[in-house]
Amino acid sequence: LCSGAMVPQAPRFRLVVLCTGNTCRSPLAAAAFREELGADLERVEIVSAGTAAAEGQPASAGAAAAGARDGLDLSAHRARRLEAALLQGADLVFVMEREHLRAATALGADPDRTHVLSEWPSPGEPEAVVADPFGGSAETYEECLRRIRRHVRRIVPHVRAAARSRPA
């Protein structure tokens, strides 16, 4: 018999990924995090947004094509503008550029949990900046995704360990 009582779900680790328009870099990064986390994805909530996003826009054609060539499906993605509510309770916030870092902290992101993707964990790979590919060639988008994947692979073990350390 079901008593109707809901079993409280353990709080999931909350990861927010930000870029400018939320149509190229952050959707690619969110998809890469989802794929790389594998079975641990059930422990992690991944949200992407843009500091200047036009709500509801699909991923750019270039990002969708680069993602598809690399096994990532961005077809369901819709852009979302960064709001303070998205940052509340975030365990980690990753941004692509310092400008995004300022925007996120201005909206209340915890500065100790908000990092440029290429720079965390320290020392990171700050020389491997994830530049905005918007409007660029297929090669530009592919290079962007290569850099995102490199950073995500470096970061996921830390996210996985933190998510697994949450009480069940």
Annotation marks residue 144 as catalytic:
no
Annotation marks residue 132 as catalytic:
yes
Catalytic residue chosen out of the listed positions 25, 43, 80, 147: 25
Nearest to 124 by CA among 95, 145, 104: 95
Rounded Cα distance, 124 and 116, in Å: 9
Catalytic residue chosen out of the listed positions 40, 110, 132, 150: 132
CA distances from 102 to 18, 34, 91, 95 (A): 12, 26, 17, 10
**Bridge partners for 92 per DSSP:** 15
Burial class (CB in 10 A: 0-12, 13-18, 19+), 140: middle
* Alpha-helix residue ranges (DSSP H) falling in 41-133: 61-69, 84-87, 98-106
Cis check: omega of the bond before 123, within 30 degrees of 0:
yes
Catalytic residue chosen out of the listed positions 14, 19, 147, 160: 19
* Alpha-helix residue ranges (DSSP H) falling in the chain: 25-37, 61-69, 84-87, 98-106, 138-164
Annotation marks residue 70 as catalytic:
no
Active site residues: 19, 25, 132
